[in-house]
Every structure is written in structure tokens, then in C-alpha cells.
Structure 1
Amino acid sequence: MTERKDLSSRILPQMVLSDTRNPLTAPLQLSGSTSSERACQRFAIEGNAIVTGGSGVLGLAACRALLEHGASGVSIFDVLASISSGKEAIIRLQEDFPRAKVITKIMDVRDDATVHTAVSETAVELGSVDILLCFAGVVGTTHAIDMDVADWKRVLDINTTGSWICAQAVAKCMINQKTGGSILFTASISAHRVNFPQPQVSYNVSKGAIVQLRRSLAAEWAQYGIRVNSISPGYMDTILNEGEGLAEGRRIWCERNPMGRMGTPEELTGAIVLLCSKFAGRYITGADILVDGKHSLRSPLRPVLSMSKGGQTVF
């Protein structure tokens, strides 16, 4: 523990920013000789990606998008139960993209040693690690007054600390490679507003922390050519939001969305490809892209006051 008398004699560490002499942050030039070649190159994905929570619905959609845009390989990080349940979808990826390597690593993102080992193994098996997508996460919908500390810690440990552990391990790998790369966190509309009607304080806090983690790492790691961004999905129409018990919630979520519906996993992939692409995303770091149909536009706690006009909802 630091003694009070030592505080006045400490030396403050200082981050280093990049400059125009750094080739890792210098602008790139498209090399295609035709318009179609340059268009393809602009949003091409180069190298290999690690996708945590990659066997879930959103993670699999992201893996497929990266491979469609040219990724050489994908390493799916997930717990055993999720990899087992997503086995058929993972096999389809391997069959649909035979030129690429699709591998899996069983892990808990909270385990620092396991994560660092898996990142090192991925770099050897795929040849490099150039992209990290963090989709591993859990949600808790318990009233704050009733939540116990163990449940609180579990959500923050997986969503926030797990993302940090993976980002640090991948950043060390990228720095060692001297290649730079792209790290993409999954934040949420929950980082920007209070969800309604469900109470989920631990989830909201965990995603709010991701927003500041993104900013901090973008500043610190720019000198290494590492871009750090995030996406903030709105409510996605997946199996996680299905069932009779969620019917009322789904109605409210759709009713409060200017587009009148939930999003689909595929609708996240445009932002993912942009932020992970070497050319189109080259000068984007520290950014967050909301992909929510502008659900976050609405005041979260006001009752919905609307009337129907010609089949449309008027606010």
C-alpha cells in the first residue's frame, strides 16, 4: 500500500501519442487499377480475427461477415457449452470458406492465463492476430435492491473485465508483431440510456464502462497502430429475446423504436466490417457506432404517448 508521504515523490506516467513519422498510423493508398477493385479493397478485411462469444448468434454473424470480406482466419473464443451448441454453425463456416482457417478455443474470458495462452496459440495457428471482436457477455435483469454482490460481480467480470483481459492480451500480441490492428468492443444502447421496462443495473454499468475503456485504450494504443472502437447494438431479434415471458418487453421495445422493430444480427455487420477494415476504418479510433434504429433517441422513462395515423405510430 502506498504511504501518504510517497505520493508527493512519485513520477506520473505519461502516454505517448503517434506522429507523422509512424508508419503504423500513416494513411494508406488503394492500389486497385479499376473502380470495382478499389471498391472491394476499401472494405476488405485482411488478416485473422479473434471473436469472443463467437459461437453465439451475433458472434457467428460477425465471423461470417469477416470471412465474406476476405479474412484469412477466425478463432472463436467461447465456453464449452456455447461452442457445443454452435457446432453445426461453426462447421458450416468451415465448409463455406474452405480457403480460410476457422478454429475454436474453449475458455472463460475472466481467466487471464487462459486468455493469454489462447491468443498466443491463435497467433501460431493462424499466423497472426490482426482483429479482436468482443461479443462475450451476459445480462442480469434483477431489481437493484434485490441484487446480491455475486451476481453484480459476475456481470461486470465477464462483460467489462473479460473484455479488458482479451484486449490487453491481443494488444501485446499486435505490438510484438509490429503490425497494429483493430479491437472492437460490444457496448450497447444500455451504455447510453436506461433500458425500459426491465431493470438491469449491472449490465448497464458494465456497458458504460466499455465506452470509457474504448476511449482510454484508443488514446494509449494509437502509437502501436492499434485502433479501438465499439458498436452499441439496440434490441436484436434473436433467440435470446424470444419466448412468451418477453412478449410484453418486445412490444414495448418495438413501440419505442422510431423504426418500429428490433434489429437483426446481419444489420450489425456493416459497422463491424467498416471498423475492422484496414482502409475504410483507417482513421477511425475511439468511436462508438449506435446500431439501434435510433431507439436511443427516445426518453427511456416516459410513457409512450402515441396515436395511430394511417397505420403508422405518431409520437
Structure 2
Amino acid sequence: MTPDNSRSSTPPLGGFYGKQFDLTGRTAVVTGGGRNIGFACAHALAEAGAKVVITGRSDSDTADRGRDELARLGYEVSVVKFDVTDVNEVVSAAEHVADQFGGADILVCNSGAGLGRFPAEDLEDEAWAQTLDLNLSGVFRCCRLFGRQMLAKKKGAIINVGSISGEIVNRPQFQTDYNVAKAGVHHLTRCLAAEWAERGVRVNAVAPTYIDKPGRWGKDDDAIFSTWINSTPMHRQGEPHEIGSIVLFLASDASSLMTGAIVMADGGYTLW
């Protein structure tokens, strides 16, 4: 199933509840917003009326291709290039967003990746450090710097993209570093939510299951893929737009009472 990409000139929903999803006038920053889950989040937020800034590394054209695709669908989206593992680049990007857009109102921390799968006894220090830097420290840097802009406004919403890997130990693959990093993202979410709640900034996370996307590792391995699917009560992977919809909810006033929540989007995977 894919979302309807047609654009209406009027809000898709009216009345009190529909208006809770209206993001008109808000600036949303989506890290890694050029493809897959990040692109779906950018699309959902743009469709709800937000001014969207998608990010990517300077050595990649992924963010540019995402912007061009959203432009084809009728949305005006900006691109800022930076690497979440480089604090100086994150600082510069946050300053740019402040100068050009008046600061972020919404932040989606989506950048991250599993960099390898090794038994713990074979996991080298360098690989461990790289995984945590990208998947955890990078999230903290973005939350800290863009969060300051929201704290100054006394309002904002941060959504971190965690994982079922932050709640369970995946099987059959070995990925201790990634699991620990995502568990850190979930607890970082709770910590920031507790610190910033009284100052108007909400911090939540979505924890997806395996998402169907190009190049999905393990999909072509029958033993691995069947383990994933048979461990899922719905017996399927997720779709990027299913995560985008949850992020839209968490970014909007429809979730105004929620902070510190880890929303499981897992087809029931973590029930067993």
C-alpha cells in the first residue's frame, strides 16, 4: 500500500480534530530526509503544511533527490547538508535554520544505520564507537542544538526514530552495538522529555520494526527473513509511510499530552 500523493488546496480534515494536525507556519527539520523513513516523514509533514528542511551529508545527493521528488509532488522543501557525527557541521546547520527560518519548531531525528553485524567478541572498538556516534550521539547533538531553538520559543516537538532493537535483542543476527545505541535513543528521549516538559518542548520516539525498503539487509536470506516475519504477529514488514503517519501525529497538536513516549510500530513483534 502506498499513500495518495495527490495534493489538495484545502485541508484534508476540517473541524477541531482535523485542525490538530495542521502544521502551517511551522518549520520541520528531518535528518536523513531524502529517502525511506526520512522521506516519508518529510512528505507527511509537508502535506500537513510545515516548511520542511531535509538534511543529508555533503558527500551525498540523497537529500537533493528527496527534495526534487517532493517538489514534483508540489511541495517546497529546503536542503541543508551536514553530518550528524560532526558537531561543527551540526552547529552550522542549526545556525542556518535559525537565520533562514527563525529556528526549528519540529525536529525528526531519523539519521542512523546499522554499520555491521558481528558477534560481540569480534566487535572492534572503532566499529562500536562509530555505531554509537551515528545512532546515539548524533541524535543527542541534533536534539541539543535544535532543541535550544524550541526552548527559546517555549514550544516545539522532537521525534526520535528509535527501533524495536532498542527494546529487544534481535535474532538471528548479531548487532549488539546497534541495539545498545537504539536503547540509548529511547532513554535519551525520556530524559529530554522530563527535562523540557515544563518549558514547552515535547520529546517522543517511534520504534519501527523491519521496514520494507530498497537494499533491505536480510530480505534475500530465507533463514533470516523468515525468522523476522514468523516473529511478527502481522507476518509482514512495515512500510515507510506507516512511520511517517506516526511522526506526523507526534509532531502535531493531536499528541499534545504526550511526551517521553516510545511508540512501538512493530506489527506486534515485541509482544512475543
Answer yes or no: same fold by TM over 0.5.
Answer: yes
Does the 8 Å CA contact 1:120/1:173 hold for their aligned counterparts?
A: no
Match of 2:118 in 1: 142
Q: Which residue of the partner structure matches residue 295 of structure 1?
A: 269
* SS at 1:241 equivalent: coil
Contact 1:45 1:273 in 2 (8 A): no
| Identical residues among aligned pairs (%) | 34
Q: Structure 1: which 5+ runs fail to align?
A: 1-34, 299-315
**2:233 aligned with 1:258, yes or no?**
yes
Match of 1:41 in 2: 19
Shift of 1:183: 0.6
2:138 alignment partner in structure 1: 162
Report the residue type matching 1:56 in the other structure: R
Q: Distance in 2 between matches of 1:127 and 1:80?
A: 23
In structure 2, the CA distance between the partners of 1:61 and 1:215, relative to structure 1 (3 Å rule), is same
Deviation readout 1:159-218 (Å, 9 max, x if unpaired): 100000000001111223x24100111111011110001000000000111111111100
Mark the CA change 1:244 to 1:168 in structure 2 (over 3 Å): closer, same or farther: closer
Partner of 1:113: helix, strand, or coil? helix
> Quick one: distance in 1 between partners of 2:257 and 2:245?
17
Matched, 1:52 2:31: yes
Matched letter for residue 237 of structure 1: D
8 Å Cα contact 2:56-2:62 kept in structure 1: no
1:66 aligns with 2:48: no
**Cross-structure match for 1:88:** 65
Out of 147, 163, 175, the residue aligned to residue 171 of structure 1 is 147
Whole-angstrom CA distance in 1 between matches of 2:59 and 2:40: 19
Specify the SS of the correspondent of 2:29: strand
1:254–1:261 CA contact under 8 A, matched in 2: yes
TM-score normalized by structure 2?
0.89
Separation of aligned partners in 1, 2:236 and 2:57:
31
Gaps of 5+ in 2: 1-12
Over aligned residue pairs, what C-alpha RMSD do you find? 1.7
**Post-superposition offset of 1:248:** 2.8
One-letter identity of the residue aligned with 2:143: A
Over 3 Å off, 4+ runs: 85-89, 242-247
SS of equivalent residue, structure 1 residue 182: strand
State the SS of the aligned residue for 2:238: coil
Could you tell me how far apart the structure 2 residues matched to 1:37 and 1:209 are?
39
Q: Cα 1:289–1:131, aligned 2, differ >3 Å: closer, same or farther?
A: same
Instruction: Find the aligned partners of 2:219 and 2:55 in 1 and give their Cα distance.
Output: 31
Cα distance in 1 for residues equivalent to 2:218 and 2:260: 36
Identify the match of residue 167 of structure 2 among 182, 192, 208: 192
Match of 2:53 among 64, 71, 75: 75
Give the Å deviation of 1:81. Answer: 4.3
Are positions 1:281 and 2:260 aligned together? no
Q: Which residue of 98, 110, 113 maps to 1:123?
A: 98
Q: Structure 2 vs 1, CA of residues 159 and 244 (structure 1 numbering), >3 Å: closer, same or farther? A: closer
Cα 1:188–1:104 shift into 2, 3 Å: same
Alpha-carbon offset, residue 39 of structure 1: 3.1
Conserved? CA contact 2:219–2:225, under 8 Å: no
**2:155 maps to which of 157, 180, 187:** 180
Q: Secondary structure at the match of 1:80?
A: coil
After TM superposition, give the deviation of residue 255 of structure 1 in Å.
1.4
How far apart are 1:245 and its partner, in Å? 4.8
Whole-angstrom distance in 2 between the partners of 1:244 and 1:185: 25
Based on CA coordinates, which of the two structures has the bigger radius of gyration?
1
1:211 to 166, 169, 186: 186
TM-score, normalised with respect to structure 1:
0.78
Cα distance in structure 1, aligned partners of 2:188 and 2:44: 25
